Chain A
Amino acid sequence: MSSIYKQASPKAPDFQVVEQPRAIRPGTNIPLLGLVLAVIAANSAGNFALRVGMQQVGRTVSLSPVPYLAAFLNAWVLAGVVLLIAWLILQLSLLSRADLGFVLPVTAMANTVAALLGAFVLLEPVSRSGWIGIGLISVGATLVGQTESRTDGGS
């Protein structure tokens, strides 16, 4: 009997297909560092696009979903949403391979990238304490980046 088939039950003459692990095609597997960088890039770019879009849309604080859905008509908001969906897929993939205690501080670098984009592209002023914050986050993320990515017994 072929290894991919097994008999479902004595009464059922048909056969049940047993799913085999799918081989990963070479070149499709993203290394952990690449995944971390992709998460940071997608998060920073998504939040940046959302900020530009919401600046164009204007003040939107409401319990009604209508103003938020109307904001989706703005191209920057839409681009931000698409980038944040990509971030979600990448973040879930990263969480499947690394601890939350590793992922959170390391991907916090997205905050510094967002602040730098705000400073240099949107020309939002960054104070001296802001630059200290960017430095502290970078040191913290680097420190955690040197730890084991998975400690709960996963591969």
Chain B
Amino acid sequence: MKWVLVGVIVACNACSDLLNTSGMRVHGEVHDFRPQALRRMAASLARNPRIMLAMVAMTVAFFALMALLSIAKLSFAIPATAASYVIEIVLAKYLLREQINWRRWAGAVLVTAGVVFLAQ
């Protein structure tokens, strides 16, 4: 059961990260963190369909994480759900047109390997 939950979390996290990045590029850079600026940002993001779809994926991932945390250790649950790093880097390269140099590939591989070690 815990690996099913890990799969749901990984898939939903990948979808939400890609949609969030794409949506925030449409929105523009955020530099102002005063309360009124954050309210304006929230109102703008509520009208952004990519961000709204990402929120749906994040909600599913969140409840799956709550279920996973109730049956697995924190030191298993969080690292195991981070297994999507390399997949998301590949998707970022081809869907978001990001430049992934050797440092980023190496970093993603090291992080994924670290996650595997940490989950054991």
Knowing A100-B96, A133-B115, A152-B97, say if A24 contacts B21 (CB, 8 Å): no
A-B contacts counted at CB < 8 A amount to: 207
Q: Which residue of A lies closest to B13 (CB)?
A: A104
Per a CB cutoff under 8 Å, which of B66, B69, B100, B113 touches A136? B113
Q: Which residue of A lies closest to B110 (CB)?
A: A140
Proximity string of chain B (85-120) to chain A, C-beta cutoff 8 Å, 1 when within and 0 when not? 100110011001111110110111111011111111
A98 → chain B closest CB, angstroms:
9
Per a CB cutoff under 8 Å, which of B21, B45, B62, B114 touches A140? B114
Chain B interface secondary structure, helix, strand, loop or mixed? helix
Q: Is B67 an interface residue (CB 8 A)?
A: yes
Contact (Cβ within 8 A) A60 B117? no
Contact (Cβ within 8 A) A114 B70? no
Knowing A143-B103, A144-B103, say if A58 contacts B31 (CB, 8 Å): no
Contact (Cβ within 8 A) A61 B70? yes
Q: Is A151 an interface residue (CB 8 A)?
A: yes
Contact (Cβ within 8 A) B69 A92? no
B69 → chain A closest CB, angstroms:
5
Contact (Cβ within 8 A) B28 A99? no
Q: List B residues at the A interface (Cβ < 8 Å).
A: 1, 5, 17-18, 20-21, 24-25, 27-34, 37-38, 41, 45, 51, 58, 62-63, 65-67, 69-71, 73-75, 77-79, 82, 85, 88-89, 92-93, 96-101, 103-104, 106-111, 113-120
Instruction: Apart from A29-B32, A104-B92, list 18 A-B contacts with CB within 8 A.
Output: A28-B37, A30-B33, A47-B78, A54-B69, A95-B20, A99-B92, A100-B17, A100-B92, A101-B92, A101-B93, A105-B85, A110-B78, A114-B74, A136-B110, A137-B115, A147-B104, A148-B99, A152-B99
A sample of 18 cross-chain residue pairs with beta-carbon separation below 8 angstroms, ordered by A number, consists of A48-B74, A51-B69, A51-B77, A59-B71, A88-B58, A89-B38, A92-B24, A99-B92, A100-B17, A108-B114, A112-B114, A115-B78, A124-B73, A133-B115, A136-B114, A140-B106, A141-B107, A144-B111
